[in-house]
Amino acid sequence: MIGPGNGVRVFLAAGTTDSLLTPIATDLGVSEGRAGQMISISGLFAVITSLTITGLTRGIDRKLLQSAFTILLIVSVLIVALAPAYPVLMVGRALLGVAIGGFWSLSTATVMRLLPMDQVPQGLAALNAGNAIAATISAPLGAWLGDIIGWRGAFALIVPVAVLALVWQHIHMPSLPPRDARRIHPLGLLLRPQVALGMASIFLLFMGQFALLTYLRPYLEGVAGFSVPRLSAGFLALGLAGLAGTWVVGRLLRLRLYGLLIAIPAVMAVLAVLMIVLAPLPVAVGALIVLWGFFATAAPVGWGTWLARTLGPEAEAGGGLQVAVIQLAIMAGARRSPPAATPPAPVAARSGAGFPPSRSAPARHRSPPPPRPDRRRR
């Protein structure tokens, strides 16, 4: 389930890059700003699904449910690839948000049932490592596929990979009958001080992380003076460092969970300050990017482990709450910047947060404001 499931995300990341928004807008006869809403609507429905899926599917085998989300993903991608008009495209993207939001809401609880508790951090690390890989290759893959077979073909290529994931789930994933956990709505968990404090920490971490990522590309190009080849190499290094970070941190979490939860955002804050101080030194900035990728991508692994230990049998409800909190935090972080300063989707997706790159789209695709009139002229 873990390996092929993240293989699907490689193509999802490729399908939602900015390189495909222009041909989509041209083909459907809409502006790029409206085409960009295909990304934000997926995020909206991911939030709605994450907060409702546990209660609506309480009596369903989790293996069947995960397979249903994969089938829904296939259907949504086919709708997008064959969409004759903009409203049909938006329906497909909304269904995609349901599939992704449901999958990630249940992911921590599913890993907890597939692995012994002492191996849960490694399982979550493997899950997030797939996102690091996807984020690393999504930009060139999306642009390449779009140029060769068009945006519809790029989306259509998700289907065979998703079918492979479905077959893999059917063969290798055991039956996971629903458990008789106490009924609780995800938002009800916020009444517990420990959960409320943890979710507030998650919100601030991801909001700050994406506030920085929003400015990362213009900072590298306009302040640090990175050329296009160096920029590409920097993002590749960031993704590979994230892959290493998930592996290393996943093995340390069994011994130092709370220490790492405190240390990771502290280190990220120091790195952000050093990016300002050392901006004239491209080599130093490159090293800081690598370190940022190492720690930022590992952060979700730590908080997933915290969720598993804190909520135990209520991890499904907690997972839904966590998905919603992270989604809203990323939107808040990305919206704090002007449109001109925001990077393309592949840049934001490189956080490795483990959720669809639809989150920061509203800021990226907002139409520029009209020019102000010259009031000196009468």
Contact 208, 334 (CB under 8 A): no
Q: Could you tell me the CA-to-CA distances from 351 to 8, 127, 276, 292, 338 in Å, in that order? A: 18, 14, 19, 9, 20
Percent of the chain clearing pLDDT 70 (strictly above): 78
For residue 274, pLDDT over 90 is answered with: yes
Q: Which residue has the tokens 């951090």?
A: 121
The residue among 207 and 130 whose pLDDT is bigger is 207
The residue among 45 and 342 whose pLDDT is bigger is 45
Contact 214, 333 (CB under 8 A): yes
Domain boundaries, the chain: 2-177+185-362
Question: What 8-state DSSP symbol labels residue 122?
Answer: H
CA–CA dist 38, 126 (Å, integer): 29
- Range 74-82, long-range pairs (CB < 8 A, 24+ positions): 74/158, 74/159, 74/162, 74/163, 74/166, 77/15, 77/155, 77/156, 77/158, 77/159, 77/162, 78/156, 78/159, 80/15, 80/38, 80/155, 81/152, 81/153, 81/155, 81/156, 81/159, 82/152
Would you state the pLDDT for residue 148?
83
Percent of the chain clearing pLDDT 90 (strictly above): 22
Please give the mean pLDDT across all residues of the chain.
78
CA–CA dist 108, 323 (Å, integer): 11
Q: State CA 88 to chain mean position distance.
A: 24
Over residues 335-348, the mean pLDDT reads 41
Write the CATH number of the domain with boundaries 2-177+185-362.
Answer: 1.20.1250.20
Number of CB atoms found within 10 A of residue 117's CB: 12
Two tokens, residue 302: 């730590």
Q: What is the pLDDT of residues 227-266, one digit of tens each?
A: 878 887 888 888 888 888 888 888 888 788 899 999 999 9
CA–CA dist 144, 149 (Å, integer): 9
Residues with Cβ within 8 Å of 269's Cβ and at least 6 positions away in sequence, in order, are 208
Over residues 291-307, the mean pLDDT reads 89
For residue 378, pLDDT over 70 is answered with: no
For residue 349, pLDDT over 50 is answered with: no
The residue among 277 and 22 whose pLDDT is bigger is 277
